[in-house]
Chain A
């Protein structure tokens, strides 16, 4: 009877001197691997302009049907996304959109802190996605 108790105490004693596994989350933050698929970003070119040309391939490939793109004609007749929305509540972070994108205009990056209070706040529009990682 006493043997298992001692065994247990032994384990406690051993781990007592190892590094703790738990992270003090809000104070401490986990560093994600580079290939982690977190919140999307609409990337920018060298001049800081949006790269996306609204080809709608991401929307077509999305298995959760959470991307809505509405293309429009810009001032120099170029194609640009007038509307680019991702419904994060429906997104399954599969990364297919990133894979389908011909211009690497959408990337799933390290941010996993997307929790919010209302559903509306989780409907990310073009500007929110564009500035998602801007400090």
Chain B
């Protein structure tokens, strides 16, 4: 540690700290225009100059590291004069159009000029006169206001890794722009906008909307993917005007993706449901809540008394809050007497459950911010830039700052390859074989952590036995990856100080999640990359509360907190607390529910937030199943494809309109705070569940989300110490958190595994049946811009990507004589769609990619319920 004095205040900081940070620690604010804690010091603005006693001249505080015994002065007349001159120099070319500039009121330059009283400028010079870029989506660039601090260029390089903008020209003509000054065509994550200290880069959607002081800002959690980024939502007059990330809050530390920052428009979509709808003679009629709930209760009661509770089933979306999910399963299980409840297709959470089998907890093992400190990262079948762009930024930080090695295992040439040391392009679905091959290589070379394996794990012999079949030659044949590269990757991972495996899951992923997670867990156990910091396995859920839905027991076989439904004592614990009885028999999973519905066994289906018609495999069969249900209730923000088949539609609130908590992919329980009131008669899901239950004759729980969390806390040991008072911090709390004084668990299994030892569970690679008729492999998945039906309701996002497409490799395109934007028909056993082609190097030869949303032309029209990789035929129109 280094001790120094800043303005007479003594402060002790770790070596390598810059004076600027040390001063911040001492409570002294040194002004700066080009420094951010997210970026490497750059020293462009020279406003942060300070003086060291006993040395001549001034030095910038942002990139001079502290030394022992330094005496720093930050506020002498010399320094103030230098800063003033620096500001005047900046103001030579900076236009004084503050009244029309959207940064006015939060502009760092404006603040400093005011603070230092720079009222006139003795320097004369020309103002720049460059064209403003009004064309780029989401981002408005006014280069005249640019002060060339380089923050946008640096964040695009260091954190995002996109390098869309760069310094152009030289000297006075220097500016920031793209090659050939074309409009921007990047991820549109808006990181550049968020760091711009002046008004050179603006949020286009916020352009000329309001002054910052007029807005109310609410800290909440993003409602898109499982990363759980903290959003700062700015609202005025009941409308969202801007969403930004706050550097000092949340796992994302200010980083957001295009959906998080610009994808909120659906909240104000005119198509939002604003009153309950009841279907009369085939068309929807607006109704009051009393009518709608009355009808739902009447019909559900009828079904329950006629056919029993097991004729009722429920599908709930993992986008709801923990409190809502808990209340939903309580309503379904206790009040309606059915265990047929499920979420997210019933198969996409196989990976966390597999980790529960082998390790003990059904969740990622470590914290998201540890990824940036890892040495070797395996992105296992994870197209992170599309599914979890903020996690991609963590990877970019690791690769660019720590020279970490990224190993990409995918069947497509994904964008992440740009940063990878190894691009292991596997045959679709053969990832498990590759991991097995890697383990075999590790065993053969004696790189396994023997001590860890012998003291903390069990079942190594069975694993060794099963791995014998995975000689490098065989794995090479199975996966199509060259032996040298995966063996080298295995060596790297085994020798790494911190080795991380990232697995993104979701309804669109290839359906071998369980095997994949077990293989990954075997690999980490074998190499001892678990139970320590900066290592471990991450299961990245597709939806904002994928983790919470599992924790809250939204599955046919598990009660909240992974209490086994089949265990009478566990069931009794819940029954006693709820004063209700829970049916004994394990329920059906989502796909079985649909199957049963098709067979006429399900009379009442209550869907909350899910859109099975688009998100579940085999759309045509799903449609048949939903049509066969006597009484279908759908609760959603929009009249989704599924909702239009319903008898009753209940309008729900969006994530910015309700209270509650989400649990993100690193087990972090974070508070969601309302920034708006729901439109019209729309209500938070919790309210709807409680009203329904009340009409069914049971008081579900106290109305506030806080009270529900208190109830959860008492029943779920993992959430034992979580209450709203403790959640009111920038980082939330990570479960397991057993008691009120438990600090939360950033990484699991430090001392031991819940079952004593970690289990090796060997998995075998099974090749799919060879099908020759349909030659093309089809991969479906979310894209960066869209994640389902909500994002499609945001006009800004649909402008970026408005229709479905099929990604074809240029080689294949040339063989077939296909061009960009040409219509083709894709046909599988399940159905067919007509889409336009997108010729892209990101596809792999022989493999097509179709986004999984876009309703009637989405990938799920082609996929099958058997959850194997779909093979399709491709025809030109």
Which residues of chain A have a CB within 8 Å of any CB of chain B?
53-57, 59-60, 70-73, 77-80, 102-103
Contacts and interface: CB of A to CB of B under 8 A. Distances in A.
A59 B104 CA distance: 14
B103 to A, nearest CB: 12
A60 B99 contact: no
A56 B207 contact: no
Given A60-B211, A72-B208, A73-B207, A53 B100 contact: yes
A72 to B, nearest CB: 6
Interface in B286-332: none
Interface in B170-189: none
Contact of A55 (B100, B132, B134, B209): B100
B178 to A, nearest CB: 19
Contacts of B208: 54, 71-73, 79-80
B168 interface: no
A38 to B, nearest CB: 25
Closest 10 pairs (CB-CB, A-B) = A55-B99, A79-B208, A79-B100, A73-B208, A71-B208, A56-B211, A102-B99, A53-B100, A77-B134, A53-B99
Given A56-B214, A78-B100, A71 B132 contact: no
Given A55-B98, A79-B100, A103-B99, 7 more contacts: A53-B99, A56-B210, A71-B209, A72-B208, A77-B134, A78-B100, A102-B98
A78 B104 CA distance: 15
15 contacts: A55-B99, A57-B99, A60-B211, A60-B213, A70-B210, A71-B210, A72-B209, A73-B208, A77-B132, A78-B100, A79-B100, A79-B208, A102-B98, A102-B99, A103-B99
Contacts of B99: 53, 55, 57, 102-103
Contacts of A56: 210-211, 214
Contacts of A53: 99-100
Contacts of A55: 98-100, 104, 211
Contacts of B211: 55-56, 60
A59 B214 CA distance: 10
Contacts of A78: 100
Nearest to B142: A77
Contacts of B100: 53, 55, 78-79
A133 to B, nearest CB: 23
A103 B99 CA distance: 9
A100 to B, nearest CB: 10
Contacts of B210: 56, 70-71
Contacts of B214: 56, 59
Interface in B199-238: 207-211, 213-214
B216 to A, nearest CB: 16
B100 to A, nearest CB: 4
Nearest to A52: B99
Contacts, number: 33
Contacts of A59: 214
B80 to A, nearest CB: 27
Most buried by B among A60, A72, A79, A102: A79
Most buried by A among B104, B134, B209, B211: B211
A80 B210 CA distance: 12
Contacts of B134: 77
Nearest to A102: B99
A10 to B, nearest CB: 62
Most buried by A among B98, B100, B134, B208: B208
A59 to B, nearest CB: 8
Contacts of B132: 77
B96 to A, nearest CB: 9
Interface in B99-149: 99-100, 104, 132, 134
B114 to A, nearest CB: 13
A80 B132 CA distance: 17
Contacts of B213: 60
A55 B96 CA distance: 13
Nearest to A103: B99
A28 to B, nearest CB: 42
Nearest to A72: B208
Nearest to A71: B208
Interface string B646-663: 000000000000000000
A55 to B, nearest CB: 3
Contacts of A79: 100, 208
A53 B210 CA distance: 12
Nearest to B237: A70
A59 B213 CA distance: 11
A55 B134 CA distance: 20
A50 B210 CA distance: 19
Nearest to A55: B99
A73 B102 CA distance: 11
A47 to B, nearest CB: 18
A103 B132 CA distance: 22
Nearest to A80: B208
Contacts of B104: 55
A7 B165 CA distance: 92
A21 to B, nearest CB: 46
B214 to A, nearest CB: 7
Interface in B544-601: none
A46 B99 CA distance: 20
B237 to A, nearest CB: 8
B268 to A, nearest CB: 16
A73 B100 CA distance: 10
A49 B184 CA distance: 34
Interface in B851-869: none
Contacts of A77: 132, 134, 207
Nearest to A105: B99
Nearest to A73: B208
A80 B209 CA distance: 10
A53 B213 CA distance: 17
Contacts of A70: 210
A78 B134 CA distance: 11
Nearest to B204: A73
A42 B530 CA distance: 68
A103 B97 CA distance: 11
A79 B211 CA distance: 12
A57 B98 CA distance: 11
Nearest to B210: A71
A60 B208 CA distance: 16
A17 B207 CA distance: 67
Contacts of B209: 71-72
Interface in B71-107: 98-100, 104
Contacts of A103: 99
Contacts of A102: 98-99
A104 to B, nearest CB: 12
A38 B208 CA distance: 30
B401 to A, nearest CB: 38
Nearest to B104: A55
Interface string B244-264: 000000000000000000000
Contacts of A57: 99
Nearest to A82: B208
B249 to A, nearest CB: 27
A80 B207 CA distance: 11
A70 B209 CA distance: 7
Contacts of B98: 55, 102
Contacts of B207: 73, 77
A96 B677 CA distance: 35
Nearest to A81: B208
Contacts of A60: 211, 213
Most buried by A among B98, B99, B134, B210: B99
A60 B210 CA distance: 12
A64 B540 CA distance: 52
Most buried by A among B100, B104, B134: B100
B639 to A, nearest CB: 30
A72 B98 CA distance: 16
A79 B210 CA distance: 11
Interface in B2-61: none
B868 to A, nearest CB: 51
